Amino acid sequence: MATRTKDSVEASDPAVKGVYHFLDVGGLKYGECTLVEFGQTRILIDGAHVTDFGGQSGYDSVPTQLKKILGGAPPYDITLLVVTHCHADHVGCLVELVEQGIVRPKFALITDPKLGFGRTADHDAMDLDPRDPRVALAAILREEDATDLNDRDLAAFIDAVASVEQRYTRLVKRLTDNGVKVTPYQGKPLPADLAQAVAPSGLTLLGPSTDQLLFCAEQISETNDEANDALDRAPDAADDIVSLYRDLVGPDSDVANGRGNGMNCQSITFAFGPAGARVLLAGDMQFAEPGVKGANAEVAKLRAAVAAAGPYKLFKTTHHTSHNGQDAAFLDSLGSPPLIVHSGGLRDASHPFPSTLRMLKDRAGITFARTDRNGRITVEPHKPVGSAIKVSRGQVNDFTPNRTNDEEIAVAAPAGLVTATATAGPSGIQIVIVNLPNAPVDLTVAGVDIEIRASRARRVPASGGGGDPGPRTGGSASSTASGMTINRSLSGLLFVTDRDQLRANIGRVEADAALAAVQAAQGVLIEGPGATLQEASAQKLASDTGLKGVVILGGYDVAPSIRTDAIGQEVRQALGNEVSADGDRFWVWSDRLYGDNDGDQIGEIPVSRIPDARDSGLFQAALGATPFQPAGRFGVRNVARPFAEEAWDSVFGTRAMEVSEKFLDTDVLAADLDEPFHYFMLHGADWDGRVFSGEFLRGGYPQAFSIAKVPSRFGGVVFSGCCWGALIVDGKALDATTDAPPPRAKEASIALSYLNAGALAFIGCTGSHYSGPDTDPKANYAALLHRAFFQRLAARMAPAQALQEAKDAYLAWTLANRSTMEPRHLARRFKNATQFTCLGLGW
């Protein structure tokens, strides 16, 4: 069964080339939301998680992502809204998107509610009460296996899915009330008006067939009955659905847990786009292992129909890259698509499934992007493979499996991985030998409960650059399973944080241990909700004049950085349209108001920030950094920035500065990096924090320093004049609409990698930097600022204080000479003074 709306399209017409946006579904397990654009023809497929409407902590919400893609204010007109199947991570927040007018669809093609939930024709889902244990148990049994969640998360998951059927019914009613032409999919071809509306997209509806839908519905229906039977047998278990669920689907159950299969194999399957840029989107269809009684022959027909509609340039893996979704033979049948995309959340060790990842890795020539590591993914399949995919973070072709957040998700010990032997020792003491798996484990030995967790120094899997240096040595902190100790005084420093959010980011135990260590080292700690911290900090500074510095603990999602107009209204007005020549239109992230001790909106007290990057190891390494000891130096400058040589002379040490274009990343030696002071006067980019570039005088930018060169141990200070070198979130201040764009991982940032290595400070810019080719320090936009910092650092001033004083001196000079500067020159200096920030402890 295939309904082809258009066989081929003219690839020369931009409106029919097709752009596919795979939205970031955050950290929660599973999830999928895809926007297909062919000019004004837009198809929105599925709605991620219900919590993605408001946004998971640290991730853009679905409305925010739609705004970034489509621009302007909602409502966003959608030609066709699709619900591929009825799992909660696909129905997601579609109800809210429609009810609150974020999207305005014209047509809807949705999984038939009765077939999708295995209900009889007379069933009314609006009568369902999500608090009814029978409803809740049936709902969780219809979902994927969730036994890997700990009890708390499982309870939350049950709460979330219990209402999905009722919410889905609400969605259908709202769509209908809004005048949307809703087609419950029952295996039939598209209605003619719908087919015509989506024709520009080249959409081909491939299935599943009516018979396949019915086989699946029968399996789903059996699940509903199973829930009722279980509660009939054990009515008292209604008070503890978590335990009952584990009994029903756990390893001791007689029934294999294949319940998710029924819904997955109802996934509405499409091909899009013109020949040469064909795309397959098939929800969670289990092409490789259907697992639905009686449905194998129908799935085989669907596979054949899918293959016939190819070959494909882009394939979104099905069922979150599970082994039952696809295999090598299936990919071969698709024509070996060179572009592969995975959708799913980060905290999911089994999706992408490790062996499926290996299978993909072994396929030559593919480009693989994944929402869990790459955020929002945009694919233009008509472009060459090397330039067809853009991602909002990380690197493509990351084939490493996820690990669960072991503070959040307790994984039962897999059979055969743990062995324990008890033998009698002297005095009757038992000696137990345990072979540990590479995963968190809860086990009982001789009646004693044992929890085994990974080292507290590591939480986030490391890959690529910014590699994991392993357990720290040196530094001023020591970390044990029971806590953290900072072996130096932090007296006179004000630490500000939101404990709850910091806990959420790096783990409760780690956050509490770090904050306790700060207080034990005589640091002053104030806590509160993130939005209150800047004012709380300023008030504390006003009342306690003994404080010499502020240290923000956590990323922007813990304590917001402030979107700041670096030039003020007068200069902005004088610049007029010339603001558009600045890469940020002079908006930058700034923490300066945390140091405003007199309410004049100018920071007086040095402010530094230790970002967490969702990585407790990085956080602890940066918090435990040692005071700076001036010794040697290492620096690289762009060939077109000779002014840096003059500033360089202010720095201790005798080593000459390297100059790129000649000096390249490949010329960096390990011995160079042993020096405790590094200076980079190179180019940087807002979308890629992993590379600093030099400059070819003939045009173009050679790679002069990359994240792979960041040393694994570094106890010093870095000063970077590179554009956006200290940007620690995936978003410029210019474009931000919320306080906290998603944080960058250390693998995506040279600055964060230095902190991970133990740097005391990484001084850099949150926006584009100004300097210029002039060597006259009064004509160059950066020379006086850089030199002022270097001089103070050489005088053994702490880097946070050195930066504050250097900026003050630079501003004072600028203001004293303002009458000779035209607005653009003033604006560039104001911007530099505002955007330079101190990452790391800084003291």
- State which of positions 366-385 bind another protein (CB under 8 A): none
- Candidate residues 319, 376, 786, 828; the one interacting with another protein per rule CB under 8 A: 828
In the complex with another protein, the residue whose CB is nearer, 652 or 701, is 701
**Least spacing, CB of residue 778 vs another protein, in Å:** 14
In the complex with another protein, the residue whose CB is nearer, 702 or 842, is 702
Q: For residue 110, which amino acid is it?
A: I
Give, as ranges, the residues between 730 and 769 that touch another protein (CB under 8 A). Answer: 734-739, 768-769
Q: Is 301 exposed, middle or buried (0-12, 13-18, 19+ CB in 10 A)?
A: middle
In the complex with another protein, the residue whose CB is nearer, 474 or 529, is 529
Query: Stretches 106-114, 170-178, 183-191, 807-815: which one binds another protein (CB under 8 A)?
Result: 807-815
Q: For residue 831, what is the DSSP state?
A: H
- Candidate residues 357, 514, 826, 838; the one interacting with another protein per rule CB under 8 A: 826
Largest alpha-carbon pair distance within the chain?
88
Instruction: Give the separation between CA 211 and CA 714, rounded to whole angstroms.
Output: 63
In the complex with another protein, the residue whose CB is nearer, 441 or 644, is 644
- Candidate residues 29, 259, 690, 824; the one interacting with another protein per rule CB under 8 A: 824
Mark 69-108 with x for binding to another protein (rule: CB under 8 A) and - for no binding.
----x-----------------------------------
Question: Strands 448-452, 441-445: parallel, antiparallel or unpaired by DSSP?
Answer: antiparallel
- Candidate residues 133, 394, 507, 823; the one interacting with another protein per rule CB under 8 A: 823
In the complex with another protein, the residue whose CB is nearer, 165 or 582, is 582
Phi, psi angles (nearest 5°) of residue 243? -65, -40
**Least spacing, CB of residue 612 vs another protein, in Å:** 20
Instruction: Give the separation between CA 452 and CA 463, rounded to whole angstroms.
Output: 24
**Least spacing, CB of residue 384 vs another protein, in Å:** 13
- Candidate residues 684, 715, 742, 842; the one interacting with another protein per rule CB under 8 A: 684
Give, as ranges, the residues between 513 and 532 that touch another protein (CB under 8 A). Answer: 531
CB 209, CB 153: distance < 8 Å: no
- Candidate residues 601, 629, 656, 776; the one interacting with another protein per rule CB under 8 A: 601
In the complex with another protein, the residue whose CB is nearer, 323 or 376, is 376
Give, as ranges, the residues between 762 and 791 that touch another protein (CB under 8 A). Answer: 768-774, 781
In the complex with another protein, the residue whose CB is nearer, 683 or 787, is 683
446-472 CB burial, b ≥16 within 10 A, e <16: eeeeeeeeeebbbbbbbbbbbbbbeeb
| 3-state SS string for 396-444 | CCCCCCCCCCCCCCCCECCCCCCEEEEEECHHHCEEEEEECCCCCEEEE
| Sign of the Cα pseudo-torsion (493, 497, 500, 506, in order) | negative
CB 106, CB 197: distance < 8 Å: yes
In the complex with another protein, the residue whose CB is nearer, 408 or 739, is 739
**Least spacing, CB of residue 826 vs another protein, in Å:** 5
The helix (H) or strand (E) run that includes residue 450 is: strand 448-452
**Least spacing, CB of residue 699 vs another protein, in Å:** 2
**Least spacing, CB of residue 291 vs another protein, in Å:** 43
- Identify any residues that bridge with 577 across adjacent strands, giving them in sequence order: none
Give, as ranges, the residues between 636 and 675 that touch another protein (CB under 8 A). Answer: 638, 640-641
CB 461, CB 403: distance < 8 Å: yes
**Least spacing, CB of residue 395 vs another protein, in Å:** 18
Instruction: Give the separation between CA 608 and CA 628, rounded to whole angstroms.
Output: 15
For 481-539, list the strands marked E by DSSP: 483-486, 493-497, 524-527
Instruction: Give the separation between CA 303 and CA 479, rounded to whole angstroms.
Output: 54
390 binds another protein (CB under 8 A): no
CB 412, CB 443: distance < 8 Å: no
CB 496, CB 553: distance < 8 Å: yes
Cα angle 53, 59, 62 (rounded to 5 degrees) comes to 30
- Candidate residues 108, 502, 647, 723; the one interacting with another protein per rule CB under 8 A: 723
In the complex with another protein, the residue whose CB is nearer, 357 or 396, is 396
CB 350, CB 439: distance < 8 Å: no
Query: Stretches 97-105, 145-153, 219-227, 821-829: which one binds another protein (CB under 8 A)?
Result: 821-829
811 binds another protein (CB under 8 A): yes
Cα angle 6, 11, 14 (rounded to 5 degrees) comes to 105
Give the closest residue to 217 by CA, choosing from 322, 89, 302, 123. 123
602 binds another protein (CB under 8 A): yes
Question: Applying CB under 8 A, what is the total number of residues that bind another protein?
Answer: 76
683 binds another protein (CB under 8 A): yes
- Candidate residues 62, 506, 613, 722; the one interacting with another protein per rule CB under 8 A: 722
- Candidate residues 219, 343, 766, 834; the one interacting with another protein per rule CB under 8 A: 834
In the complex with another protein, the residue whose CB is nearer, 442 or 805, is 805
808 binds another protein (CB under 8 A): yes
Q: For residue 567, what is the DSSP state?
A: S
Conformational region of residue 620, where left means phi above 0, alpha means psi within -120 to 50, and beta covers everything else = alpha
- Identify any residues that bridge with 424 across adjacent strands, giving them in sequence order: 430
In the complex with another protein, the residue whose CB is nearer, 330 or 701, is 701
Give, as ranges, the residues between 688 and 717 that touch another protein (CB under 8 A). Answer: 695-696, 698-701
| 3-state SS string for 680-735 | EECEEECCEEEEEECCCCCCCCCEEEEHHHCCCCCCCEEEECCCCCCCCECCCHHH
**Least spacing, CB of residue 21 vs another protein, in Å:** 18
**Least spacing, CB of residue 402 vs another protein, in Å:** 30
Instruction: Write the CB contacts of 618 (distance below 8 Å, at least 6 apart in sequence).
Output: 611, 612, 746, 752, 755, 756
In the complex with another protein, the residue whose CB is nearer, 503 or 824, is 824
In the complex with another protein, the residue whose CB is nearer, 318 or 590, is 590
In the complex with another protein, the residue whose CB is nearer, 323 or 824, is 824
Q: For residue 584, which amino acid is it?
A: D
CB 564, CB 587: distance < 8 Å: yes
CB 270, CB 194: distance < 8 Å: no
**Least spacing, CB of residue 569 vs another protein, in Å:** 7
In the complex with another protein, the residue whose CB is nearer, 63 or 716, is 63
In the complex with another protein, the residue whose CB is nearer, 500 or 688, is 688
SS3 state at 478: strand
Query: Stretches 23-31, 269-277, 331-339, 596-604: which one binds another protein (CB under 8 A)?
Result: 596-604
Phi, psi angles (nearest 5°) of residue 490? -110, 25
In the complex with another protein, the residue whose CB is nearer, 426 or 576, is 576
821 binds another protein (CB under 8 A): yes
Give, as ranges, the residues between 17 and 76 that touch another protein (CB under 8 A). Answer: 67, 73
609 binds another protein (CB under 8 A): no
Give, as ranges, the residues between 534 and 593 that touch another protein (CB under 8 A). Answer: 534, 560, 562-571, 574, 577-578, 580-585, 587, 590, 593
**Least spacing, CB of residue 505 vs another protein, in Å:** 19
In the complex with another protein, the residue whose CB is nearer, 222 or 565, is 565
**Least spacing, CB of residue 641 vs another protein, in Å:** 8
- Candidate residues 122, 177, 254, 822; the one interacting with another protein per rule CB under 8 A: 822
**Least spacing, CB of residue 833 vs another protein, in Å:** 10
